[in-house]
Amino acid sequence: MKRVRKYFGQNGNMLFLSALLIAISAASYSQADRKLIREGNREYGKEKYSESEISYRKALDKNKESADAVFNTGDALYRQKKYEDAGKQFLQNHDMNDDKKKKSASLYNLGNSLLMANKVQESIDAYKGSLKIDPDNLETKYNLAYAQDLLKQQQEQQQQQQQQNNQDKQNQDNNKEDKNQDQQDKKDQEQQEQEQERQQQQGISKEDAERLLNALANDEKNIQEKVKLAKAQKARVRSVKNW
C-alpha cells in the first residue's frame, strides 16, 4: 500500500514529503514477523509513531533480513522528526532490496529525510538516484525541482551574506584607519601646544626669538661698521703733519 503525504514548503509550494510503502510480501517471513509488522502498521495509522517504531524494531529482532521492517522503521522515525536516523533506515532498505520500485521509493524517502534535515544538496542527489530507477515518477520530479530551487535561494543568500561581511570588514578597516589618523593628528596638536607652552614659559616666543636674533645681528653689524669707520678716521688724522 502506497500513501502519499503532502506538505506546503516555506515558499508556499506543495512538496510531496513521504511515500510510505508498508507491506508484507515475503513468504519466508515468520508468523511473528508478520504479526509485529501488522501491529506496527495499526499503531502507525493511529499516529502512534513511537509505538509503531518499537513494533517494527521487534520485527527486525525476529528477522534482520526484513527489508519492509527496515523501511517502516524509517517511516516511523521520519514522523517523529528524527530525519537523520530515518535516512539511515531508507539507505539500508535501498541496499537490501532488489525490487526496483522499492529501491526507488527508499531513495525518494531518503531525499525527503535529507531535505527536512536541511541537507539540500544531498537530498537532490537522492532524488536524482530515485529518478534513475523510476524516471516517470512525478512526485520525485516535483521534489527534485523544489530542492533545486531551495538550494539556489540558499546559495544566493550565502553570497549576499558574504558580500555584506566583506563590506562590514572594509568599513571596519576604514574606521580603524580614520581613528589612527585622528589619534596621530591629536598627538601632533598636543605636541605643538606643549612646544608653544614651553616657549611661553621661557618668556619668549619662537618668532620673538628670531626677531631678537636678527636685531642682534643687525646691531653687531652696525657696531662693526662704526668701528671700522672710527679706525679709518683715526688713520686719516694721524697722517696729517704740521710743517
Q: What is the CATH number of the domain that holds 78?
A: 1.25.40.10
CB-CB contact of 24 with 1 (8 Å): no
For residues 143 and 229, state if they share a domain.
no
CB-CB contact of 96 with 131 (8 Å): no
pLDDT at 1: 33
Whether this prediction's pTM lies above 0.75 is answered by no
Residue 196 lies in a domain: no
pLDDT at 180: 80
Number of separate domains in the chain: 2
CB-CB contact of 40 with 55 (8 Å): yes
Owning domain of residue 223: 211-236
The secondary structure element, H or E, covering residue 97 is none
pLDDT at 182: 81
pLDDT at 189: 86
Residue 166 lies in a domain: no
Question: Per-block average pLDDT, block size 10, for the chain (243 residues)?
Answer: 36 51 47 89 94 95 92 95 96 93 94 96 97 95 96 94 87 79 84 75 62 67 66 52 38
User: What does the radius of gyration of the chain's CA atoms come to, in whole angstroms?
Assistant: 47
For residues 17 and 89, state if they share a domain.
yes
Residue 31 lies in a domain: yes
Alpha-carbon span 146 to 8, nearest angstrom: 11
Residue 182 lies in a domain: no
Alpha-carbon span 186 to 198, nearest angstrom: 18
- Given 152, 172, 195, the domain boundary residue is 152
